[in-house]
Structure 1
Amino acid sequence: MAEAHQAVAFQFTVTPDGIDLQLCHEALRQIYLSGLHSWKKRFIRFKNGMLTGVYPGSPGGFMVVVVSYMSYNKYNQLDPSLGLIAKLGQHLPISQYMSTDSQKIVGGVLVGTGLWVTIIMIMRNVLKCLLSWHGWMHARHGSVSLSTRLWMLFVKVFSGRKPMLYSFQNSLPRLPVPSIKDTCSRYLESVRPLMDDEQYERMKGLTKDFEKNLGPRLQWYLKLKSWWASNYVSDWWEEYIYLRGRGPIMVNSNYYAMDFLYVFPTSIQAARAGNAIHAIMLYRRKLDRAQIKPIYLLANKVPLCSAQWERMFNTTRIPGLETDTLQHMNESKHIAVYHKGRFYKVWMFYDGRLLLPREIEQQMERILADPSEPMPGEEMLAALTAGDRTPWAKARETYFSRGKNKQSLDAIEKAAFFVTLDDTEQRYDTNNPVKSLDSYAKSLLHGKCYDRWFDKTFNLIVFKNGTMGLNAEHSWADAPIIGHLWEHVLSMDPVKLGYNEDGHCRGQTHPNLPGPQRLQWDIPSECTEVIQSSLTVARTLADDVDCHIIPFSDFGKGLIKRCRTSPDAFIQIALQLAHYRDKGKFCLTYEASMTRLFREGRTETVRSCTIETCAFVRSMIRDETREERLKLLKVAAEKHQNMYRLAMTGEGIDRHLFCLYVVSKYLGEDSPFLKEVLSEPWRLSTSQTPLQQVELFDLVKHPEYVSSGGGFGPVADDGYGVSYIIVGENLINFHISSKHSSPETDSHRFGANIRQAMLDLLDLFQIDKKDMK
């Protein structure tokens, strides 16, 4: 049975001779080591803050500037400060106790410091101007123009040396506000293939009226915000799209990430948890020390914003009556664990150090061996996080604001992250690939609806047979951020950390390691009713989700590149062809693109159902020649690439329209145009999960070490959600979701259409797939 460990620093008894203190030296030692660990972390954060604050300058640069300035002043008998040194020396409070030479030295240091700060500001602003140029994105793949080469050289010169994760934050440009005219014209172009002539003329009239009348007034407020705030979109996007949503975040917002498909490092649940948890904590340590390298584009020259990493750990979404909030702790030394209806608090540090994998496995074994039953109301408690937000907010305030319930809830919400030791088995089964993968996806997406704490930034889920995965909350960051962590874990687990021959983590157990602490609850019957109500809502939603996964191995990006086509454009066009064959019509399509070229950037929408793509799809339906189809395909692919570039460089339309709508609500202005635009359903929502750390996986020697990516629920009740990951040169994994309740959708049918569409597109290029084997 898992036991609570209570460290008592001292005991005392009263005797006739006085008070007898009985000090516990081990407890005092642990207190000392804990304090030492905290102070080390504070010092590291202070040091990293200093280094990031002066970047692209450095302390070494400060010494060079000051010493050079002082040497130049001394040996040339010149005063480049035009008398400023003497004036500073005269006005120093202690100048009467200093010699003339000492005053000159102090004054020289001050002027040198000012010169150093000036150089930093110049470099930072020059770098910001350089990073505002995006001409490099329009070059043909594989070729670099002379202007781009010169630009890359200047970026390298002004970027400084050895940047840390947050070094570029002050040098990134702000997200620009597109013009009303451009946004309106691009919007009309995006909806043209989805409307008949009468509908389009009506929408054209609404658009022109908005562009002429209300639009410029709303635009003025957005311009003002863009000058004042770091990013004119991100805070409103987080609040209104995520935190103000009152429906369940399970399925509707949270997403999942899968384990390896073909590699099973161990079948021991506790051992897999031990290595994974240790790898995650190592990642957190690197994050705390800002040792994670910045993410770049274009040959490691163009940095992306790193702001989303700040709340990865020690963060929880707190429910509210009208809006949720994100609670972030600067430090957390424990994790929360769920198993068979019981919650545990597990400390991650002992003897002033992080627990080793075998020691974490030891803690998980204690939890798995605990024979105790859940307390009344405890087993399904997490269903509150899976249902509607307002009932959860009311229950939290009423039943969890005091006593042992508050203490236990704090242990979960203030944990570094949440772990579920799942009592089911999930795994890719070659004998039954379709059913096994579909079950695996649904388990990661929603589980039993009460065995994941959906409010935590992420849940590590370890199944009974050793397979694992993640479930992530969406408001704090986008999928590539969690993907970066998950790549680190998967690369560490089977190779760098590894397992013994018997499947256990390497190393030894700890004889004196205090056990996990079982969390205590006192849940009244009224709260149990709320839990059951939330569980009913969540189960209805979960049972309706139709998940399907396709490991598409017929070909991959290697063959697509031989077609001289963008892999992403190729896949997006295939999705349009598949959707038309599936439903017999086109629909408004959402493809997520990032805007992290700008400070605090998040995402933008690429409306990938274009006039050009629709023309190509119709040619595939009609009896057209291969040459004509191929010509239309290349035009559609180039159009898609151009739209992706516009989205990445701040010229997308949907975030601009969203912010205009928010301003109109603040002003109390009713806009028929904006109201209609924001209510249009995305019946096909797509997203690519990028493989960001290719160097961590040698897919040539070990093609089996591939991530199968992750997925999300459908956005529209009658639509599809499609996530895909391009892995290596020969594999693309598709994750498809829809709802059983819709007569228009079927995830398996759509999956078959995607596979056929991919093959049909490749056939147009007449490239022999055998050449790639």
Structure 2
Amino acid sequence: MAEAHQAVAFQFTITPEGIDLQLSYQALNQILLSGVRSWKKRVSRLRNGVIKGVYPASPSSWLFVVIAILATMYMRSDPSMGLITKIQQHLPLSLHVSLSSQGQTMLSALLFSTLLWLSLILALRFCLKLLLSYHQWMFEQHGRVSNTTKIWVTLLRLLSSRKPLLYSYQTSLPHLPVPVIKETVNRYLLSARPLLTDEGYERMTKLAAQFENNLGNRLQRYLKLKALWATNYVSDWWEEYIYLRSRGPIMVNSNYYGMDFLYVSPTSVQAARAGNTITALLLYRRKVNREELKPSRVPGTVIPLCAAQCERMFNTTRTPGEETDVLQHWQDSEFIAVYHRGRYFRLWVYRAGRLLSPREIELQIQRILEDQSVPLPGEEKLGALTAGDRVPWAKIRKQYFSSGINKRSLDIIERSAFFVTLDDEEQGMKGDDPVGNLDRYAKSILHGNCYDRWFDKSFSIVIYKNGKSGLNAEHSWADAPTVAHLWEYTLATDAFQLGYTEDGHCKGDVDRSLPLPQKLTWDIPSEVQAQVSVSLAVAQALADDVDCHVFPFREFGKGQIKKLRVSPDALIQIGLQLAYYRDRGGFCLTYEASMTRLFREGRTETVRSCSNESCAFVKALEAGEAGEQCRRLFRQASERHQNLYRMAMTGAGIDRHLFCLYVVSKYLGVDSPFLKEVLSEPWRLSTSQTPVQQMELFDLKNNPEFISLGGGFGPVADDGYGVSYIIVGEEMINFHVSSKHSCSETDSHRFGRQITKAMLDIMTVLSADAKPSSSSKSPTQSKKQL
């Protein structure tokens, strides 16, 4: 085979005349160039380490300090106040012998300058950390910024004036504070009040008081001790106990999805769409590796967000264990894993140290599509192992995939940059049933056939036969905003930067001598095939139970909402409360995800969106009370929601603190009836906004059809709803609703209709308000002046 010959750098045979050595100079040249690329990456990482290590100063500032010190010494002044002389006195004896007096003085001045420079850097970083620990700006009303905040903004801009690398702010970000236990308990009781009867609330109040006065303080001391030495007192436990220790299927229950453009596909050629998509992803990886991505910031401000989740974006997989899974990350990978019609392939995306062109990747993908080989026994549905329960997968992996050809093939999948599925289905909104098509499209990306995705990979890309694409992401390594940033870049780069020829193919040159993609080989015994069937049955039952509904809400969008001086997120969340009340006849514990990336290694916090104020508004509207009264209650509910969101973002949330206290109690072997009851409460309404972070990449005025659909996730509770939404441009909001068919009380399409009606009813009430009120905006909208 051609690829086998390409892979061999030299061959030798032993003959009576001696050893006959045959060298492949082409292969040796590729090895050399690949090594050069590897060393370039090491040098780049070293350079970036120095640059971000001295941020907010620059490496060149060392020279400025040295020149300044030497200049003052030349003017017969001692800026060190005698320290240079003391350094000179303590130089090693060998230097005293080999250097002249003037040379010793110069060396001592250099040492003093370096120490002074390092001290200044530490001082600047300490000042930057203090500035980033200030969060009062978030609680100030729009247009009423205090002098303290104005001074703070000025100082922060001065210290952030240099162009930072992706991870430049990491060591300057503050640590997540441990809230006061009394405040957390009080906030919990306030959030639980609208969901409990008077008797139930009195009982919970007594349990909370007993916990606070007894066990709570003991647990709090251990948690504060952890916060002293841990970078983030929540994140490691959250990753382990919420994600990695889960023994059920991660498909649907944990993994989430991202969808393509709503109205268009840049090309209908499957291989071409794969070529550009893969190239865009690898260009993004290059930016991450070189730290050329701009650090994410709170939109409209100069305030940086933690970038730690980017570190494990590529070359990462979740490997199963019997008790807990493990995230494995490799420094680099020059290939991707591709699945098509039951076969697995390794596709090298670099040759001789250079990234293949989009046209070359298209050629390689087309070769896979045209490959007529059949799957090996047990190969076609092998991916079902990653979709079923984790313990059987862990046992099978340990017994049958720890050596031989199975290990080699599995290593290729797990070590690949990411996973690609070439799907034979056609998906998208177009067709006779656009509503049903969108629903099927979402389900396809979420779980597919339960065996044609590799759910353990950090993320998998799906390219459909008609050119539509999608993304499925594993949840333990990162949250949706990080993946959304990657997916935004990929869609925009694919459509607007790389582009296609008139006939829909990728641009660029092509080297047709590229070796064929390598088909992976397996030796899958009957025991493994039996477990694959079991895992597939479990996964298929879970997939069949998911009821997905995706719909674009076009009646109004962010533009009209902001004209009413209302936070779009608050309006949507209150609308969900109204929709749920009409759907189920009551209120429920509601989860809205809020990020805590203002802190180092921050992930998420819960905003308990069902509040006394939102319930009061819903009841008033349903009771037909006067419009003025409803508007007043809505403004109160909106302000309350925004305050809850701000508190969650600034480390004063409820649920992560209580979760960590519960983990400590388990380590200590003690039980808390209060914590046990709080953490067992079901989230029947789980919601999340997919943020649009790079609007500059999409020209919606000239290309309004390139609107992103966003993404979604499966339901958290068996009798609840999962709702994701993305605010696109000024005139559209896309909703993703999920539930389970097995629950007779839920219906995703019915709930979607309730959301639409609730949004319209709220807008009708607010639009009748002739005098716009000064309700607060969200943190990401109310601080544009920052």
Q: Structure 2 length normalisation: TM-score?
A: 0.96
**Could you tell me which amino acid in structure 1 is paired with residue 18 of structure 2?**
G
Whether the aligned pair in 1 keeps the contact of 2:66 and 2:110 (CA below 8 Å) is yes
Equivalence for 2:362: 361
Q: Find the counterpart in structure 1 of residue 250 from structure 2.
A: 249
SS at match of 1:506: coil
Deviations 1:664-700 (A, max 9, x none): 0000111000000110000000000000011111112
Of residues 361-370 and 509-518 in structure 1, the stretch that sits farther from structure 2 once superposed is: 509-518
User: 1:167 Cα shift?
Assistant: 0.2
Q: How big is the shift at 1:500?
A: 0.9
**1:598-624 deviations in whole A, cap 9, x for unaligned?**
000000000000000000000111020
Partner of 2:426: 425
Q: Do the aligned residues in 1 keep the contact of 2:549 with 2:736 (CA within 8 Å)?
A: yes
C-alpha distance in 2 between matches for 1:767 and 1:705: 33
The residue aligned with 2:408 is 407
2:48 equivalent in structure 1: 48
* In structure 2, C-alpha distance between the alignment counterparts of 1:29 and 1:173, rounded to whole Å: 48
Shift of 1:142: 5.4
Unaligned regions of 5+ residues in structure 1, if any?
A: none
- Structure 1 letter corresponding to 2:19: I
> Which ranges in structure 2 are unaligned for 5 or more consecutive residues?
771-786
Give me the CA root mean square deviation. 1.5
Note closer, same or farther for the CA distance 1:150–1:283 as it changes in structure 2 (3 Å cut).
same
Q: Which whole-Å CA distance do the structure 1 matches of 2:571 and 2:5 have between them?
A: 57
| 1:66 and 2:63 aligned | no
Matching residue of 2:303: 302
* C-alpha separation in 2, matches of 1:15 and 1:32: 30
2:764 maps to: 763
Question: What's the counterpart of residue 781 of structure 2?
Answer: none
| Aligned equivalent of 1:232 | 233
Deviation digits for residues 353-400 of structure 1 (CA, Å, limit 9, x no counterpart): 001100000010010001111000000000000000000000000110
Determine the structure 2 residue equivalent to 1:35. 35
- 2:448 maps to 447
Q: How does 1:566-645 map to 2 (within 5 A)?
A: 566-645=567-646
Aligned to 1:477: 478
Distance 1:750 1:98, change over 3 A: same
1:628–1:416 CA distance, 2 compared to 1 (3 A): same
CA distance in 2, matches of 1:72, 1:472: 58
1:710 aligns with 2:684: no
What CA distance in whole angstroms lies between the structure 1 residues aligned with 2:269 and 2:447? 23
CA distance in 2, matches of 1:81, 1:110: 14
Q: Given residue 663 of structure 1, which amino acid in structure 2 is its aligned partner?
A: V
Task: Indicate the residue corresponding to 1:329 in structure 2.
Answer: 330
Shift in Å, 1:156: 1.5
Tell me how far 1:159 sits from its aligned partner: 2.7
Question: How far, CA to CA, are the matches of 1:648 and 1:430 in structure 2?
Answer: 42
Give 3-state SS (helix, strand or coil) of 2:317's partner.
strand
Letter in 2 for 1:52: K
- Superposed counterparts of 1:253-268, under 5 Å: 253-268=254-269
> Take 1:81 and 1:345, find their aligned partners in 2: how far apart are those partners?
65
Determine if contact 2:617/2:633 at 8 Å carries over to the other structure. Answer: yes
Would the aligned equivalents of 1:593 and 1:647 in 2 still touch at CA under 8 Å?
yes
Q: For 2:212 and 2:490, locate their aligned partners in 1 and report how far apart those are by CA, in whole Å.
A: 49
Structure 1 residue 464 and structure 2 residue 472: aligned? no
Q: C-alpha displacement at 1:300, in angstroms?
A: 3.8
The amino acid of 1:484's aligned partner reads H
CA contact (8 A) 2:50 2:59 kept: no
The AA in structure 1 aligned to 2:66 is V
Query: Is residue 5–residue 514 contact of structure 1 (8 Å, CA) maintained in 2?
Result: no
Q: Which residue of 1 aligns with 2:76?
A: 76
User: What's the offset of the Cα at 1:158?
Assistant: 2.2
In the alignment, is the contact (CA less than 8 A) between 1:560 and 1:566 conserved in 2?
yes
Residue type matched to 2:578 in 1?
Answer: L
1:208 maps to what in 2? Answer: 209
Q: Which residue of 1 aligns with 2:534?
A: 533
Give the match for residue 500 of structure 2: 499
Q: In the aligned structure 2, how far is the partner of 1:127 from the partner of 1:580? A: 46
Within a 5 Å distance, the mapping from 1:607-756 to structure 2 comes to: 607-756=608-757
Q: Is the 8 A contact 1:267 1:465 kept in 2?
A: yes
Q: Give the 3 Å change call, closer, same or farther, for CA 665–90 of structure 1 in structure 2.
A: closer
The residue aligned with 2:559 is 558
Deviation at 1:495, TM superposition (A): 1.7
Report SS of the residue matched to 1:335.
Answer: strand
Residue 158 of structure 1 aligns to which amino acid in structure 2? L
Q: State the one-letter code of the partner of 2:748.
A: S
Question: Is the Cα–Cα contact under 8 Å of residues 5 and 517 in structure 1 kept in the other structure?
Answer: no
Q: Which moved more, 1:710-719 or 1:135-144?
A: 135-144
Preserved contact between residue 31 and residue 352 of structure 2 (Cα < 8 Å):
no
Q: Aligned partner of 2:575: which letter? A: A
1:566–1:637 Cα contact (<8 Å) kept: yes
Q: CA deviation at 1:89?
A: 5.0
* 1:104 and 2:105 matched: yes
Instruction: Provide the C-alpha distance between the structure 2 equivalents of 1:4 and 1:197, rounded to a whole number of angstroms.
Output: 75
Cα offsets for 1:45-100 (capped at 9, x unmatched): 11111111111121111111121112112223425241443443542342210011
Matched, 1:284 2:306: no
Give the Cα–Cα distance (whole angstroms) in 2 for the partners of residues 161 and 687 of structure 1.
34
Moved more, 147-156 or 279-288: 147-156
How far apart are the structure 2 equivalents of 1:184 and 1:79? 55
With normalisation by structure 1, the TM-score equals 0.98
Distance (Å, rounded) in 2 between the aligned partners of 1:153 and 1:554? 40
For 1:248 and 1:611, the matched residues in 2 are separated by: 36
Higher mean displacement: 91-100 or 263-272: 91-100
Rounded Cα–Cα distance in structure 1 between residues aligned with 2:53 and 2:5: 42
Please name the residue that 2:778 is paired with: none
Question: Matches of 1:511 and 1:277 in 2, distance apart?
Answer: 19
Aligned residues between the structures? 769
Distance 2:299 2:70 in 1: 40
Contact 1:2 1:516 in 2 (8 A): no
Letter in 2 for 1:171: S
Whole-Å separation in 2 of the counterparts to 1:66 and 1:108: 8
Q: Output the amino acid matched with 1:345.
A: R
Tell me the secondary structure at the aligned position of residue 33 of structure 1: helix
Distance 1:252 1:673, change over 3 A: same
Query: 1:139 offset after TM fit, Å?
Result: 2.3
1:107-126 aligned at under 5 Å gives the runs 107-126=108-127
Amino acid at match of 2:40: K
- Residues 441-482 of structure 1, C-alpha deviation per residue, up to 9 Å, x if partnerless? 000000000000000000010001100010000000000101
Q: Is the Cα contact below 8 Å between 2:258 and 2:712 reproduced in 1?
A: yes
**8 A Cα contact 1:73 1:80, kept in partner:** no
Q: Report if the CA contact (8 A) 1:89-1:107 is conserved.
A: no
The match for 2:185 is: 184
Deviation at 1:434, TM superposition (A): 1.0
Partner residue in 2 for 1:13: 13
Letter in 1 for 2:190: E
Instruction: Decide which moves more: 140-149 or 34-43.
Output: 140-149
Structure 1 residues 529 and 759, CA gap change in structure 2 (3 angstroms): same
* SS across alignment from 2:344: strand
- Per-residue CA deviations over 1:267-303 (Å, capped at 9, x if unaligned) read 1100000000000000000110000000112634111
Amino acid across the alignment from 2:221? W
Report the AA paired with residue 14 of structure 1. I
Tell me which amino acid in the other structure corresponds to 1:399.
Y
Contact preservation (8 Å) 2:2, 2:515: no
Distance 1:430-1:642 versus aligned 2 partners, 3 A rule: farther
After superposition, give the CA deviation of every residue in 1:165-210 in whole Å (9 maximum; x if it has no partner): 0000011000001001000000000010001011111111000000
State the distance in 2 between where 1:135 and 1:188 align.
25
Deviations 1:97-150 (A, max 9, x none): 001111111111111111111111111111111111111112223554433221
- Supply the distance in 1 between the matched residues of 2:479 and 2:299 (Cα, whole angstroms): 21
CA contact (8 A) 2:709 2:734 kept: yes
